[in-house]
Amino acid sequence: MSMKRIQLPLQTLSLVAGFMVWVLLSPLLPFIKEDIHLTSGQLAWVTATPVILGSILRVPMGYYTNRFGARILFAVSFLFLIAPVYYLSRAHSFFDLIVSGLFLGIGGAVFSVGVTALPKYYSKEKHGLVNGIYGIGNIGTAVTSFSAPVLAKAIGWTTTVQLTIGVMAVFALLNFVLGDRREPKAAAPLRPQIRSVSRNSKLWLLSLFYFITFGSFVAFTVYLPNFLVGSFHLDKADAGFRTAGFIALCTLVRPIGGWLADRLNAFVVLMLVFAGLTVSGVILSFSPSLVMYTIGCLLVAFCAGIGNGAIFKLVPLYFAKQSGIANGVVAMFGGLGGFFPPLVLSFVQQMTGHVAIGFMALSEFALASLILTTWLYYQERLQVSKQILDSTTQGVLLTDPSGVIRQINPAFSALTGFSEEEAVGKTPGILKSGVQNKAFYDNMWRSIRETGSWQGEIWNKRKSGEVYLEWLTISSIKNDAGEVKYYAGMFSDMTNSRPGQTDLRALQSK
């Protein structure tokens, strides 16, 4: 296997290891709080703290991956993680848990490394699938959620934590040895790149979408174990198994989301995702039974996983030259989306005795994202239509039913000499050459009214006064009620396509 081909499995497994450490605290909290007294508020903060650094560091991680390569970033990150993991195993207070949890966030920050590096090895048509496969590394959270409670029950939570030190050392070595030393690198200055991407509204909309989809994944991952134990009185190991099931579903469908985004319009995929999240938020708000709550959680897992894959098809598509920064910013907001919900849900539960309002907030955010995604979808279609219109070499004009020009394309100005300011608001009469008589135009409009279109040769006049021959097609554009809303004309210059001279006076009889 070549060095390039090994990068996808190597970096995906590295993400597994990083996420294993990132969520290490959450599934062990039911055991930790038996040794360290924690209030419900402190539990919420300990649960949410790893997300802070895991989110904020994603921006510099993405940027420095472009500068130094994934090999260095992964290796250094895993070596650095050894210290906070060991410190966690020696924790005796709330402060110790907060400090160690903060630096465990590095395990979540490595996500930006792979989504920045891997697209360099594949064509754009495969970016959705490749980033989706890499996203399977999220399964690391399931590995920890599933195994940590079982190990803690057998050997204690401190020994369970210490076992992960070996995992970090192994993956630091693997990346150092097998990482691609020849990975393409870019040393563009940081500040201009930030300014460039920050002015693009799509960056902030994609960040919002990932805030919802990946934020839901992270929030449920860190919140479920304690919630299931406290609200449904499940065994700690059972709560870990159920959380692992949520993570596994969300992770395994992520490549499907990327694959669908490669083959369909990614915004259509996201519309379905946010519609599903809207419904799931409602289900969770009114689910008194464990069965209904399970259905709501699994729907969140499915939709969030599909959405996570689709969004990282769009990021390299819109930000090919600033992929490191853009990936980092979007990934950061996704991580922060997992920081706030556990705190909000904990606060709401303390104030009201239940979490319905918190889950309804998920539904409302998803509904707002559905509206924005729909708007982006239709805006993109309009932009594509405009690009086609602007790039065609044929002149195009659009008039309202009364014959007033409402829009022209650049080719219209090039062929006629009339600028947009000179043509829009006028009638096509500004192009009349006087060669055709009234009967010619009467026949033309009779054909348009009866058949909806007309095409043929016509002599028109440029702004300079030069008369030229063109091939013109006029079509009527109707609404659903059959009413004409616009007339579209498309023409091309035929003056040089005829050999010899043409007698204009002979054409006046046509």
State the number of CA atoms in the 13 A half-sphere of 432 facing the CB.
Answer: 12
Q: What is the pLDDT of residues 379-415, one digit of tens each?
A: 877 776 677 677 788 899 999 988 899 989 999 999 9
Whole-number pLDDT of residue 495 = 76
What are 221-243's pLDDT values in tens digits? Answer: 777 877 788 778 888 778 878 88
Residue 201 scores a pLDDT above 80: yes
For residue 180, give the 3-state DSSP assignment: coil
Residue 94 confidence class, pLDDT cut points 50, 70, 90: very high
pTM for the full predicted model: 0.68
- Separation in Å, CA 199 to CA 187, 208, 319, 338: 21, 15, 12, 25
* Per-residue pLDDT at 509: 41
Paired tokens of 316: 């390299």
Which own/partner contact pairs does 79-83 have at CB distance under 8 Å and 24+ positions apart? 79/168, 79/169, 79/172, 80/106, 81/18, 81/21, 81/106, 81/107, 81/168, 82/165, 82/168, 82/169
Band the pLDDT of 317: cuts 50, 70, 90: confident
Question: Averaged over 316-338, what is the pLDDT?
Answer: 80
Distance CA 142, CA 157 (A): 17
Task: At 180, give phi and psi (nearest 5°).
Answer: -80, 110
Q: What is the rounded average pLDDT of the residues 91-112?
A: 92
The count of C-alpha atoms lying within 13 angstroms of the C-alpha of 406, restricted to the half-sphere facing its C-beta, is 10
Question: What is the spatial order of strands in the sheet that 453-461 belongs to?
Answer: 405-408, 395-399, 484-493, 467-478, 453-461
Tokens of 131: 């980033």
Does residue 254 surpass a pLDDT of 60?
A: yes
Q: How far is CA 357 from CA 39, 163, 321, 340, 445, in A?
A: 22, 39, 41, 14, 62
Instruction: Indicate the average pLDDT of the chain.
Output: 86
| Band (327; pLDDT cuts 50, 70, 90) | confident
The pLDDT score that the predictor gives to residue 85 is 94
- Per mean pLDDT, which range of 89-98, 172-181, 308-317 is the poorest? 308-317
* Residue 501, pLDDT score: 45
